[in-house]
Each structure stands twice: as structure tokens, then as C-alpha cells.
Amino acid sequence: MLELTPQQMAILERLRERGFAFAAFPLYASYIGVKKGNCAALLSPQNGAGMNVYSEASYLVKGQLSVRVQRGGREFFVWKKSEWEATPERCAELARFRAELDELLLPVE
């Protein structure tokens, strides 16, 4: 189980207040999963008080973290054998998710 500082707990509370939900991703049990809409990310506590996004924010495919791949000049979000085209709408949703997440992970003064 992760040991979190009061500052890290405050960050998680701020995320919850802005509509983010917490999610378990069994392959990444040592990270904190957060999701909103169709997007998710893994958070890693920093030494000290903050939180970092581990790897990249991801579009959810069948409720799971996907990877973004390019095939035949098109981009897709892929999880196992399922793939969804990386449409402008999905890419925009992912960009908004990441921007909001980045903003909420900044230290509070």
C-alpha cells in the first residue's frame, strides 16, 4: 500500500472535487489510477509532497489503458485486440484531460 503525505492526499482530494475518479489498474498496482470521461492516467507520488503522471495519459478502450499506435497513416488507441481510431474528438478529449490533470497536480501556494 502506498504511503501518502498530507500534501499528496490534498492533491487527490482536489482531483476528486473536479470530477476525477480513482481506478484500479491491476498491472500497475504501485500507481494511483485516475480517470475522467474516457481518459485515464497513472499517478506516482514524488519524494516529498507532489505527484507526477507516470508515462502518458491514455484514452480508455474497454475500460483499460490503451497505447497510441500509427498504422497505415492513421492513429489508433489500442488495448489487446481492441482498437479505436484516434479521431479528432477523442484526441481533443485526451488533451483536455491531460491539461486539467497537469493544472491540478501543481503545488498549491
Query: What single string gives the DSSP state of each residue in the chain?
Result: -----HHHHHHHHHHHHTT-EEE--GGGTTSEEEEETTEEEEEEEPSSS-EEEEEEEEEEETTEE-EEEEETTEEEEEETTEEEE--HHHHHHHHHHHHHHHHHHSPP-
Residue boundaries of the structural domains of the chain: 6-105
CB 27 within 8 A of CB 21: no
> pLDDT by residue (tens digit) across 85-107?
999 999 999 999 999 999 999 87
pLDDT, one tens digit per residue, over 16-40 is: 999 999 999 988 988 999 999 999 9
Percent of the chain with pLDDT over 90: 80
